[in-house]
Amino acid sequence: MLAAIAAAERLLAVGIGGGGDVVGALAIAELATALDTESVVGGLTWERRPIDPLPGARRIGELRGATVLGEHAALAHGETSGPGGFLFAESHMARHLGEPVVLLDPNDGPTGIADGLADAARELHCDLIVLTDVGGDVLAHGHEPGLGSPLADAVCLASAPLLAERGLASLGALFGAGCDGELTPDEVLERIGEVARAGGHLGAWGPGSAQLARLEAAVEQIPTEASTMALRCARGALGIAPIRDGRRTVQLTAAGGLVFFFEPLAALASAARCAQIVARAGSLEEANRILLGRGIPTELEWEATQ
């Protein structure tokens, strides 16, 4: 994993769960910097209901103040907004970093994500993609009692084989095990074990004090509860903490402060069962129907019914 990042010309780290997962992508960028590799961070055009009242992800054509890279990708700047004027987490990140941040539209499913990543990689001269989840539901089976938002992560991870077809190397990364209040830390570690048995665990890394300080400065500007919990874990916090206005709780552990790296294809062949079953979905809506048909709750269903 370290060798792959160090050998990259430029890395594109993308938060694949929407919202504040872009802070997880920034953690990957910190590692890249430590290895003298240039990096760009990004995320999805999908904000949670407190930010964007419309269910689901926004199309690239709905963005204002963005630089369009293709049908499924754009660059966010500090003023980039969605319908009604809300700012994306990536807009706040762009303002914080003083540089553009990638926005990907997941509405056309794994193929759209792969196309968007390919467009962004070409325009930004990136040769390695790191698909980054904060929490751990990217490796969800689907039956976990606390699971609530596997859809975006599943669709994005399912793009990995399509990236390979387009000549793009990818890694998976999981920051903040259990810090989104969905899978428990133990469940996340069990899933990482499954990936390891499939030959796909690539090691773990934890940000140091100076890197944590820079990440903490970012979360002061970017609304994100899960990434904040991960940074608390990295600072040594333990115990139980409420998030989502008390609807969920997070078990703070030492594992929550680490980034676990994995090989995406091995994850798809083992633990990442939600991603497996949406791999051929032609759209986010189709992937949503597939998961709901298996009795698996999704964030899109939650947003549409609130």
pLDDT of residue 249: 87
Q: Which two tokens mark 271?
A: 């633990």
CB atoms within 10 A of CB 276: 18
Specify the amino acid at residue 295.
Answer: G
pLDDT in tens, 241-292: 888 776 788 899 999 999 999 999 999 999 999 999 999 999 999 999 999 9
pLDDT of residue 114: 98
Q: Can you tell me whether residue 44 is helix, strand or coil? A: strand
pLDDT of residue 242: 85
Q: Which sequence spans correspond to the domains of the chain?
A: 2-305
Full pLDDT tens readout for the chain, 306 residues: 889 999 999 999 999 999 999 999 999 999 999 999 999 999 999 998 889 999 999 999 999 999 999 999 999 999 999 999 999 999 999 999 999 999 999 999 999 999 999 999 999 999 999 999 999 999 999 999 999 999 999 999 999 999 999 999 999 999 999 999 999 999 999 999 999 999 999 999 999 999 999 999 999 999 889 999 999 999 999 999 888 776 788 899 999 999 999 999 999 999 999 999 999 999 999 999 999 999 999 999 999 997
pLDDT of residue 261: 98
CB atoms within 10 A of CB 158: 26
The Cα 290–Cα 275 span in angstroms is 11
The Cα 56–Cα 141 span in angstroms is 22
pLDDT of residue 83: 97
pTM exceeding 0.85: yes
Q: Which residues, including other chains, have CB under 8 Å from residue 40's CB and lie 6 or more apart?
A: 10, 11, 12, 13, 29, 100, 101, 102, 120, 124, 126
